[in-house]
Amino acid sequence: MENAEEDWAHDPQNPRNWSKGRKWRMVAAVSFYTFVTPLGSSMMAPALPYIAEHFAITSETIVALTLSIFLLSFAISPLIWAPLSEIYGRLWILHINNLLFLAFNLGCAFAPTTGALIGFRFLCGWVGAAPLAIGGGVIGDLFAARDRASAMAVYTLGPLIGPAVGPVIGGFVAQTIGWKYVFIIITATTGLAAVFGLPLLRETYAPIIRLRLSQSMDPAEAMRRHPHLLEEHGKDQWRHLAVNLARPFVMLAKSFVCFILSLYMALKYSIYYLMFATFPDLFSDVYHFTPGIAGLAYLGIGIGFVLATVIGGHVGNQLYRKSAERNGGKGEPEMRLPALIAGSFFVPVGLFWYGWSAQAQIHWIMPIIGTGIFGFGLMATFLPIQLYLVDAFRYAASALSAAAVARSMLGFAFPLFGSQMYAALGNGGGNSLLAGLAIVIGIPFPIWIYYRGAELRARSSLTQ
């Protein structure tokens, strides 16, 4: 067995031995897929008033539901896509779901009723979750721990910059040529992603590659080089599938580290989506922006994301490498956490700044600066959490899917009560409440995991 693993470590078919150019083409293609999905999720946000008028929707909750229903299915389906990718491989799950995402967005554009629109949005979330559910696993397949921070930063930028760019485009499109063209543009962008992804993407999940290689070998040679894979392949596939589908739930239930980091990600992500749902009212009612101009307000978050990717990704990688050098060249997952701890302070600062400047109705640039600080903190903490989960857990895609479930469930729920919360507490009080939650969950627990994480991992069968 040891000889087989050593042979595989030097095998040119091993994705970690592919050329740097080939790896980065893969990262670019996966990032494009993960950019398209959140773009489609958020691009309709500035168009909500036009959609409400077209379908004669009078309930604020139903209007918010047309946006956030996407996240309900987005929360559930990663529990299926990630384990399936660890049984049948990453490649075709990415391709098939991207093409279905194209079809369902076209359905949104021509939905005849509110119910049909909500149904198609649900289906868009169901298939659109696949790239985000398994993209982090692809990065883990391609890069060793000490080399994957930059690739993960690029990959993570897609799911976060998409929702920031989407409303900018959606606002002008809805105002000038109509809300239906929001979905037509999403459809075209998804098709463009397929044009790039189909030729560039290749299977990266090592067990699947090795299994396929073994099936083309002489049986005796295959048994020598890949005995555990052949034994696993011979088991009952339905039972094997059930075990894999249950794994993300097991991780959330049995790993406190996975649970608390997933909860923190979920809180930040839900605040992010709450901003999508409430920005149109704030900047149109308070600052009298037109729908097209109001979309530009989302650029503050996007700029924060870009700065955090450039600065946070580089600084986090440097901290990790220096810590590994002091540890005799051996990296540990907890070495990702200093970047997380530093970034977690920006989240509440940004929320306080955004909320109270909007409450005071001072110049519009001030709340946008606050959202930029929040966006910086979101990205600066999002990246090390993703890296920690990939480094720490044996099944990286399932760990990231477990985090995606919590993230999307809260992201679905928050916009449904956001208007009522701000009506009761005001922008200052509402965002102060959210900032308090970010402080309670996001600052002490990462510090505790930094000191106790290795001990907790040693007691768990789920970790590396």
Confidence category of residue 234, pLDDT binned at 50, 70, 90: very low
Return d(Cα 384, Cα 203) in angstroms, integer: 25
What's the DSSP call for residue 312? I
Q: One-letter amino acid identity for 30?
A: V
Contact 338, 450 (CB under 8 A): yes
**Joined tokens for residue 415:** 């916009």
Report the percentage of the chain scoring pLDDT > 90.
21
361 or 396, higher pLDDT: 361
Return d(Cα 403, Cα 385) in angstroms, integer: 10
> With 50 as the cut, is the pLDDT of residue 173 above it?
yes
pLDDT value at residue 289:
81
**Joined tokens for residue 403:** 């985090």
Q: What is the mean pLDDT of residues 334-348?
A: 90
> With 80 as the cut, is the pLDDT of residue 248 above it?
no
442 or 225, higher pLDDT: 442
Question: pLDDT, tens digit, for every residue of 50-103?
Answer: 899 999 988 878 888 888 788 778 777 877 887 788 778 889 899 999 999 999
Q: What is the mean pLDDT of residues 107-115?
A: 93
**Joined tokens for residue 289:** 């922006």
Question: pLDDT, tens digit, for every residue of 136-152?
Answer: 788 888 988 777 777 87
**Joined tokens for residue 22:** 């080939």
pLDDT value at residue 221:
52
pLDDT value at residue 424:
86
Contact 341, 443 (CB under 8 A): yes
**What is the CB neighbour count within 10 angstroms for residue 303?**
17
Question: pLDDT, tens digit, for every residue of 31-48?
Answer: 889 888 888 877 887 888
**Joined tokens for residue 193:** 């992603």
Question: pLDDT, tens digit, for every residue of 187-209?
Answer: 999 999 999 899 989 999 888 88
366 or 292, higher pLDDT: 366
> With 70 as the cut, is the pLDDT of residue 219 above it?
no
Return d(Cα 180, Cα 459) in angstroms, integer: 53
> With 60 as the cut, is the pLDDT of residue 223 above it?
no
> With 70 as the cut, is the pLDDT of residue 244 above it?
no
**Domains of the chain listed by start with CATH number:** 10-203+235-458 (1.20.1250.20)
Return d(Cα 69, Cα 124) in angstroms, integer: 10
Return d(Cα 351, Cα 434) in angstroms, integer: 7
* Longest distance between any two alpha carbons in the chain, whole Å: 75
Q: What is the mean pLDDT of residues 259-264?
A: 88
Confidence category of residue 222, pLDDT binned at 50, 70, 90: very low
Residues 6+ away with beta carbon under 8 Å from 381: 264, 265, 268, 340, 343, 344, 347, 442
Name the 3-class secondary structure at 393. Answer: strand
Contact 457, 333 (CB under 8 A): yes
Return d(Cα 50, Cα 284) in angstroms, integer: 14
> With 90 as the cut, is the pLDDT of residue 124 above it?
yes
Residues 6+ away with beta carbon under 8 Å from 11: 17
> For the chain, percent helix, then strand, then coil, each to nearest 5?
85, 0, 15
Report the percentage of the chain scoring pLDDT > 70.
91
> With 60 as the cut, is the pLDDT of residue 232 above it?
no
216 or 444, higher pLDDT: 444
102 or 325, higher pLDDT: 102
Return d(Cα 425, Cα 400) in angstroms, integer: 34
Q: What is the mean pLDDT of residues 341-360?
A: 92
pLDDT value at residue 217:
57
> With 80 as the cut, is the pLDDT of residue 127 above it?
yes
pLDDT value at residue 236:
56
Return d(Cα 1, Cα 10) in angstroms, integer: 15
pLDDT value at residue 46:
80
> With 70 as the cut, is the pLDDT of residue 7 above it?
no
pLDDT value at residue 213:
76
Least confident segment among 4-8, 130-134, 167-171, 333-337: 4-8
Q: Structure pTM? A: 0.73
